[in-house]
Structure formats: structure tokens, C-alpha cells
Amino acid sequence: MTNFLANKKILLIVSGGIASYKSLDLIRRLQEKKVRVECILTESAKKFINPITFESLLGKNVYSNLFTLSQEKEMNHIKLASNSDAIVVVPCTANFLAKMANGIADDLSSNVLLASNKIKMIAPAMNTNMFNNQAVKLNLKSLSKMSVNILSPKKGKLACGTVGTGKLMEVEEIVEKINNIFSPKELNGLKAIVTAGPSIETIDPVRFLSNFSSGIQGYEIAKSLHNHGAKVTLVTGKTNLDDPKDLEIIKVKDAEDFYKTCRSKLPYDIFVSAAAISDWKVKKIFSEKIKKNKNEINIIFKKNVDILQNISKNKNKPKLIIGFSAETTNLINSSKSKLFKKGCDWIIANNVKSQPVFGSNYNQVSFITKKNVENWNKMKKSEVAKKITKKIVNFFKKNKLIP
């Protein structure tokens, strides 16, 4: 992960919840990124963790009382608000969420937030029923409209013993999100379409033809392009993934849906065809469920629409077209052949037989152009997405195609 955080000033506000202790790990990780961290503890947070623990880690005082004279002389709440590049609330309780959304300023932390026009991020953490409460949802919606970056909680087992949404986002991911906020927006003014997930081709009212694609790689590419300033539309088949924030998301079913959606959005600048589209579909869909009264059944398949090839040949084709190639043998030769046949600019190829790709957070790919092949090491799919994005940025800069 490219470090955009070095020498940034982050003000961390810790509100009082079970997840408060994780803010200590966040401080440590931010310090590793050379971030200059200041910290405010709410009165509730001090009930969970002794301020001395934070001060030992920071090597400096933490702030909490709005009316402490010595602190007011050294750094009042206006200075705290203006001297930071970003303010991050981790964890953010339902109570603190409500105060932010409604402009309540009854302590140091809430005063600082009201007095600041800098980047703001919150990482909510609370009981599932609280998170699903209509009041909390309205408050989150209000904060989103105020351009507060919301790091959505995860599903899992909570401290109260229940299982559901409300678990604090993993600290490593929080650091990554903060880092992305400061990433240069080199793709500003460009529009991108990214496809992800599997297509589902109907056989009869209860059966279908599909594949094992999880959609992770496509989702990560969409998020990475968005983080670099592109206006992204994610066209996705059915997945178990959370919807990325701040993207246009269009959910589709079969290859025809994928193609019609991608074609209707033309013209755009970047097309990343990461979805696993079935090569075949049933020639005639059975109107009734196929009964199990025969030992064999003949189903006639026909070729599906070739989305990558059709978009590549469209008169309004994107400036950069990237395809994906999943192979079990002859990875490079098969993928090169696909690149020329489809008419796209790049192919991202992987061998799905030699490594667990579907559903995994890791991938090992080859980056193929008409003139070159790069074999990348195995890495997280999020890192693959960032490397692809870097290639895209360099392409548009080199060809002077950025508005």
C-alpha cells in the first residue's frame, strides 16, 4: 500500500464503547505510517481505558476537558480543529453519532468537530439492534450528506454475544481507508465501468448455469478507481459482498443484462471487464421445471454475447479497455490470443487451476499487453487492484487523456 499518510496530522477522537481498546492499535499503526497523531478521549471513553495508556503510546498528553485552563492555553478547541488534516472518530457510538448529526456541542470532541472544516471520518461500532434502529440510520444518512466518510461496521459476533452488523471495521482496513482519503485523485474527470461477479443463465424456473466467481477482484478495482478520483459505475452479478460506498451500483443477472447495461452507459473512458460471464446459455429456456423422470436429458447450449469484444468494437468504445482471462492451461498463450481476438488493450490473466482464486482474498496474475507480459507475485486482490489502477493512471498521463 502506497503511503499517503506520512507527516499528515490526524486527530483521533475515541468515544466510549467496548471497541475503544482497538483505537490503541489504530494509533500504533498510524505512527508506523509516520502520522502525527493527537487524541481526544470522551468522558465515556475514559471509563473503558485509562488515559495514561494512550499517553504512554503517544508520548504526549491526550485531551478531554473543554474547560481545562492549561490545555486551553496550549491548544484550544479551535486550534485542535484547524491544525489537523483529518478528524477520525474510532469507535463512534450511537450516542456520539447522534451528537454529530444534530450539531450538539457539549464537550471538547463535539466542539472540535463543529469548529472544523477538515476531512471527517467515523467508524461506528454498536449493538446490531442499535445499528439497525431507524434513528441511527437517519443520523448516518444525515452525516453522509454532510460529506462525513462513514467506515461501515462489519458483520460478526459482538461483545454482547449476538451475531450481526455492528462490529468495528478491522483496524488494518481503517488505516487503508484513511490512507485512500489522501491518495492523489489523478483520475478526476474520467468515467469508468467495472463489471464484477458471475452471470446467471436460466435453464428452467429453478435451475441455472453459473460459476464460482465471488466478485472480490472487480469490487476492489471499482473501489480503487473511485479512490483515485474516477466516477465509477459497478455493474455486478449476484455476490455476498457489501456494496461499496459512493459508487453507482447496477445489479444484473445474465450476460445480456451485463451487456445492455455496459452499452447503455457509453461513452465512458475506462472499461474493466472483471465479471465472469458464462460463455454459453441455454438455446431455449424450459418454461416448466425439468422433471427427474429420465436417466439422461439433452440441453442445447448456444454461445453467449461477447461483452468484451462488442464493447471493444463499438464506435464509442472507451479509451482503455481491460479484460480478464481465467484459464486452466496455457495461461499466457491463451490470454494473448484472447487479447487480440477481443480487441481490448490489456488482459489480466490468472490460472484458476493452480491456485485457489474464487472466493479468495488473494490472487496471482499476469499483466498482458500487445507488446509485454508481466508476471506479478501473489498478493491481496486489493493490492492487485491498486497495481492495475497505477497502470491506468500512467496510461492516461502518458497519452495526455486526463481532462
What amino acid positions are annotated as catalytic residues? 160
The 3-state secondary structure of 94-130, one letter per residue: HHHHHHHHCCCCCCHHHHHHHHCCCEEEEEECCCHHH
To which H or E segment does residue 324 belong?
Answer: strand 320-327
Q: Report which residue type is found at 156.
A: G
Sign of the alpha-carbon torsion through 152, 156, 158, 161: positive
The strand pairing partners of 234, in sequence order, are 194, 249
Q: How far apart are the C-alpha atoms of 144 and 146, rounded to whole Å? A: 5
Q: Minimal CA–CA distance to 371: which of 342, 338, 345, 400?
A: 345
How many other β-carbons are positioned within 10 Å of the β-carbon of residue 294?
8
CA distances to 191, 256, 326 from 321, in Å: 12, 19, 17
Q: Report which residue type is found at 194.
A: V
Q: Report which residue type is found at 222.
A: A
Q: How far apart are the C-alpha atoms of 335 and 365, rounded to whole Å? A: 11
Q: How far apart are the C-alpha atoms of 70 and 79, rounded to whole Å? A: 14
The rounded radius of gyration (Å) of the Cα atoms in the chain is: 25
Cell of 319: 479509451
Cis peptide before 205 (omega within 30 of 0): no
CA distances to 9, 78, 103, 278, 281 from 115, in Å: 16, 6, 11, 54, 59
Q: Minimal CA–CA distance to 275: which of 201, 370, 383?
A: 201
Strands (E), 328-398: 346-351, 362-363, 366-368, 373-375, 379-380
